[in-house]
Chains A and B, each alone.
Chain A
Amino acid sequence: MTQSRRDFLLSTGAAAGALAIPSWMRDAQAEEAPPVDRAAIAGAAIAAARKAGAAYADIRINRYRNEAIATRERQAQNVARSYSFGFGVRVLYKGAWGFAASRIVTPQEAARVARQAVEIARANAQFQPRAVTLAPVEKVVTTWRNACERDPFDAPLDDKIQFLMKLNERALSVKGVRFVNSLLYLVNEQKYFASTDGSRIEQNIVRTWPRFTVTAVDQTKGDFQTRDSLGAPLGIGLEYLSNYPWLEDAEAAGNDAVEKLKAKTISSGKYDLVLAPSHLWLTIHESVGHSTELDRALGWEADYAGTSFLTPDKLGKFQFGSKIVNFYADRNEPHGLATVGYDDEGVPGQRWHLVKDGVFVDWQTTRELAPMIGRKTSYGCLHADNWASPAFPRMPNVSLEAAKENVTIDDLIADVKDGVLMSGDASFSIDQQRYNFQFGSQTCYEIKNGKRGAMLRDVVYQSRTPDFWNACDGLGGSSTVYLGGSFSDGKGRPSQSNAVSHGCPAARFRQINVLNTASKQPE
């Protein structure tokens, strides 16, 4: 069985470690770079907001660095570094929100922008039927950084390009592979938060995502098949490049893409599914992560992302899944993409159950949302993707608990007479209340009489969230756990992107509707 990513990380001690002096600190002190006194800027914004009548104000002064290296086959296509620095001020005036942002990071501009935010809030307040109230939060003055042994922005560029070239070469070594596209995407967020509650919080977050797509082409038939990498983006430094079997996955991807050209299709119908965690994380994201967002349940996202079938009356009594199903939210998940010390209104990262023994037991909340359901404190789910974006409720890492026993994926397969094994995430879609979903995979195999059989192609499954999770009758143990995730979970208007992880073991589901997408007949 393939070793999981978590095993690699644990075996190499990647969870520990910290940097001495991050390069961005040196950048800030570089010759001719304007000195930025964030405390003074925050003070100017908060004072101006108060003077203009705001009951509450906060400011985020954030610096973002991104690096993207793109290659195809035996050439580097693009190496790009970007840098963005600015601040956003959020105010509460007579129960209404206002927000404004600027890239000019000076005390004078901060005061102007704070007054602009109050002007927006004042305009809304006269028509606001519901005054916003906030759950209390303790004042915090601290610094926090996620686990990162090797700063990806300090590493030699050549090392990173060569890493991708080796991946490409390994995939191209497979007979029948025609194209490889690979990308290394690196993110560093340096965040400073200050509020009228007195909090002053600095955070430094690094994320790393190597990815590739291998393509095999059958030109005589005009056919092509692809296989994406199975490695996920993580909150980790460049040590990730040596902590995960990327080269082995590139070769496997080549073999899979070629084999898919000749793979057989399947008759549509009900099958037992065994889902590898490299696939299941995305189903969790869509059907569990989003359905347990309280803002959706209250209609705040009705115009775009949608609402949720989990209405407030279902809390504590709705049988979301079978009794072996337990989901938890965790802002402290090691290497999680949504792992933070504090959210964007100064609430500390926490861990809590969303589904316990199959029953829906809790929501994702913010300081504004918590009092609306009678809670005294927030779970810390407020986030903005940029200094220029207003913060709003975003998903924490949401994960499925593994079985306590040492169950392997082969154990799950052994109890399936006629089924399908799916690995890797591919096509995905879910309705606006998170009921009906459809997912495809990178690879798919038939299961016959407890054994993995031939490769399949053009397979997706469809189900309804509570039906699907109540059909779960087998979970893998901790040895099967994998932390999947996405850099780009879209939500809100204007749309914002959230990085979020989902851990899960392999799992088995009984009698799920499977479709052959190559069929021209309606399913």
Chain B
Amino acid sequence: MLITEKEAKALCQKILGLTKADDAQVRVISGAQTHQRFAANSFTTGGASENTSVALTVWIAKKKGLATTNDLSDGALRAMAEEAERIARISPVDREYLPTLGAQAYRATGGYTAATEQAAPANRAKAIAEIIAAGGKDSMQLAGLHQAIDTATASVTKNGNFFYDRKSRVTLSATARTQTGDGSGYFSRSHFDAAKLDTAMIARTAIQKALASRSPQTLDAGAYTVILEAQAVADLLRILRFVLDARGAEEGRSAFSAPGGKTRLGEKMFDERVNIISDPAHPDAPDAPATAEDVPAEKLWIVRNGVLESLAYSRYWAQQKGKAPTLGPVLNTILTSSAAPVKLDEMIASTERGLLVSRFWYYRPVDMRTLTFTGLTRDGLWLIEGGKIKRAARNFRFNQSLIEMLAPGAIDAIGAPERVSESENNAFPMLMPPLKIKRFNFSSQSDAV
């Protein structure tokens, strides 16, 4: 069972009472998950697990030690406290030490539904059997994952702060492949409320994509106009939350660094319709009401009308630079358009020649100075000619700067954002729209289906 707020507070206070360090923070992470995989039209691995771990960070004469355990017995907790203190005593002074937070006010953001309790094995098995049966009508091989996760996070500081938050996530991903291996389709969605996850729609979409991707045509590599479905946009732009650090930019080692030790803050780096926001209270993608440092998180404009408006200042870096720590960003990156959203069908209809991209795979950085990434299309790539989808295309490898992809003049159209998680890690929801990009660089063909 997930740890309750009352239990978490009591556990944190108990651990805090075990140390006489000058300053301390206790963090509790409690999680329950249940999942079932299926592949080749059969059930494969699955299971259920629960865990609660506690971490104690102490500072003694500004020297820091951190120890973690999942053994919550009195003896083990005492041993953890002693370990943290032992590490602190023999560590060098933590030059970036700041006193832990005093009492903060956090805004509840919702998003907890006790998802694992709703995912009974019998119901889940029946739902997966129905997905496999749906694929059977078209002689498809179905593979996928059904997963429910509940997490509770709590922390207490010696200076009087207490934080507690719970979140749920239910995910279904499905891949349909033709028996001959010449077509493949993928679709995945998640929600914090299992009742709002349309498993039949997810399976049906994956099957339709597989049917439509059969017998792909080999095209020449080169620059194409592309229409990226929301999944493909999420796959590419997940990196944004990792690269918005002000310190890296001011140290001159970031895509947001400018010559002369400056940053690109205030610069119109992107198309003027592009807004990038972090909003933990967004009703479609609620996220933690606190940053990784437990600073209360509020809605944050990162890019407004194409202008880079915010970079993330940690507590330490903010103090060094005489600024306030950034209220965010949290995980749920949101991209919206200042103009009216354009529907996917309209993007296709307005395309003389281009490619529709379902998702990307194995996207990795090549050059962090320009946020140039490489990766491949996968599970659905189609040639558009004369405003219509003409046929499936063989997959491509790309090498593309994300900064250039969103730059002024590079975007043709922006759709309405939808809740989607990037497909490699599936770890956190974003709200991403389909995008029509004027030039996207594909560097070689891939034989993979």
The one of B52, B125, B177 that contacts A299, using a Cβ cutoff of 8 Å: B177
- Residues of chain B contacted by A336 (CB below 8 angstroms): none
- Residues of chain A contacted by B45 (CB below 8 angstroms): 97, 99, 390, 392, 492
Question: Could you tell me if A522 and B441 are in contact, using CB atoms closer than 8 angstroms?
Answer: yes
Please tell me which stretch of A136-144, A183-191, A404-412, A458-466 contacts chain B, meaning at least 4 of its Cβ atoms lie within 8 angstroms of it: A458-466
How many chain B residues touch A (CB < 8 A): the figure is 103
Q: Is A518 an interface residue (CB 8 A)?
A: yes
Q: Is A440 an interface residue (CB 8 A)?
A: yes
Q: Mark A240-261, 1 if CB is under 8 A from B, else 0.
A: 0000000000000000000000
Q: Is A413 an interface residue (CB 8 A)?
A: no
Q: Is A116 an interface residue (CB 8 A)?
A: yes
Question: Could you tell me if A435 and B129 are in contact, using CB atoms closer than 8 angstroms?
Answer: no
- A303 in contact with B175 given A98-B47, A390-B45 (CB within 8 Å): yes
Complex Cα distance, B374 from A123, in Å, reads: 42
- A96 in contact with B43 given A157-B90, A161-B92 (CB within 8 Å): yes
- Residues of chain B contacted by A523 (CB below 8 angstroms): 221, 399, 441, 443-444
Q: Is B421 an interface residue (CB 8 A)?
A: no
Q: Mark B37-63, 1 if CB is under 8 A from A, else 0.
A: 101111111111111110100000000
Q: Is A154 an interface residue (CB 8 A)?
A: no
Q: Is B162 an interface residue (CB 8 A)?
A: no
- Residues of chain A contacted by B128 (CB below 8 angstroms): 127
Q: Look across to chain B and name the residue whose beta carbon is closest to the beta carbon of A460.
A: B366
Question: Could you tell me if B257 and A222 are in contact, using CB atoms closer than 8 angstroms?
Answer: yes
Complex Cα distance, B372 from A32, in Å, reads: 54
Q: Mark A184-224, 1 if CB is under 8 A from B, else 0.
A: 00000000000000000000000000000001010111111
Q: Mark A271-310, 1 if CB is under 8 A from B, else 0.
A: 0000000000000000000000000001111111011010
Q: How many A-B residue pairs have CB under 8 A?
A: 283
Complex Cα distance, B121 from A518, in Å, reads: 51
The one of B44, B121, B184, B367 that contacts A517, using a Cβ cutoff of 8 Å: B367
Q: Look across to chain B and name the residue whose beta carbon is closest to the beta carbon of A68.
A: B66
Chain B contacts with A in 1-60, Cβ cutoff 8 A? 33, 35-37, 39-53, 55
Q: Look across to chain A and name the residue whose beta carbon is closest to the beta carbon of B224.
A: A522
Question: Could you tell me if A436 and B173 are in contact, using CB atoms closer than 8 angstroms?
Answer: no
Size class of A's contact patch? Answer: 35 or more
Question: Could you tell me if B42 and A128 are in contact, using CB atoms closer than 8 angstroms?
Answer: yes
- A79 in contact with B66 given A100-B49, A217-B253 (CB within 8 Å): yes
Q: Is A373 an interface residue (CB 8 A)?
A: no
Q: Is B112 an interface residue (CB 8 A)?
A: no
Q: Is A493 an interface residue (CB 8 A)?
A: yes
Please tell me which stretch of A39-47, A52-60, A83-91, A327-335 contacts chain B, meaning at least 4 of its Cβ atoms lie within 8 angstroms of it: A83-91
Chain B contacts with A in 352-386, Cβ cutoff 8 A? 361-367, 369, 372, 374-376, 378
Complex Cα distance, B222 from A100, in Å, reads: 49
Q: Look across to chain A and name the residue whose beta carbon is closest to the beta carbon of B121.
A: A123
Question: Could you tell me if A494 and B35 are in contact, using CB atoms closer than 8 angstroms?
Answer: yes
Q: Is A135 an interface residue (CB 8 A)?
A: no
Q: Is B345 an interface residue (CB 8 A)?
A: no
Question: Could you tell me if B87 and A79 are in contact, using CB atoms closer than 8 angstroms?
Answer: yes
- Residues of chain B contacted by A128 (CB below 8 angstroms): 42-43
Question: Could you tell me if A432 and B397 are in contact, using CB atoms closer than 8 angstroms?
Answer: no
Q: Is A479 an interface residue (CB 8 A)?
A: no
Question: Could you tell me if B448 and A303 are in contact, using CB atoms closer than 8 angstroms?
Answer: no
Please tell me which stretch of A228-236, A339-347, A422-430 contacts chain B, meaning at least 4 of its Cβ atoms lie within 8 angstroms of it: A422-430
Q: Look across to chain B and name the residue whose beta carbon is closest to the beta carbon of A32.
A: B75
Chain B contacts with A in 215-263, Cβ cutoff 8 A? 221-223, 251-253, 257-261
Q: Mark B77-97, 1 if CB is under 8 A from A, else 0.
A: 011100100010011101110
- Residues of chain B contacted by A498 (CB below 8 angstroms): none
Chain A contacts with B in 73-96, Cβ cutoff 8 A? 75-86, 88, 96
- A429 in contact with B448 given A32-B78, A76-B94, A103-B50 (CB within 8 Å): no
Q: Is B282 an interface residue (CB 8 A)?
A: no
- Residues of chain B contacted by A304 (CB below 8 angstroms): 145, 173
Complex Cα distance, B96 from A430, in Å, reads: 39
What's the nearest-Cβ distance from chain A to residue B161, in Å?
Answer: 20
Q: Is B65 an interface residue (CB 8 A)?
A: yes
- Residues of chain A contacted by B121 (CB below 8 angstroms): 119-120, 122-124
Question: Could you tell me if B374 and A427 are in contact, using CB atoms closer than 8 angstroms?
Answer: yes
- Residues of chain A contacted by B35 (CB below 8 angstroms): 493-494
Q: Is B446 an interface residue (CB 8 A)?
A: yes
- A303 in contact with B92 given A86-B70, A101-B48, A124-B36 (CB within 8 Å): no
Known: A221-B259, A493-B147. 4 other contacts (CB 8 A): A98-B46, A103-B70, A427-B366, A435-B447
Q: Please list the 6 inter-chain residue pairs (A to B) with the smallest Cβ-Cβ separation, ordered nearest first.
A: A32-B75, A99-B47, A123-B121, A433-B448, A82-B68, A222-B259
Question: What are some 5 contacts across the A-B interface (CB < 8 A)?
Answer: A75-B95, A88-B49, A298-B40, A302-B175, A460-B366
Enumerate chain B interface residues (CB-CB to A < 8 A).
33, 35-37, 39-53, 55, 64-71, 73-76, 78-80, 83, 87, 90-92, 94-96, 120-122, 124-126, 128-129, 132, 141, 143-145, 147, 173-175, 177, 181, 184, 186, 221-223, 251-253, 257-261, 361-367, 369, 372, 374-376, 378, 395, 397, 399, 404, 425-426, 441-449
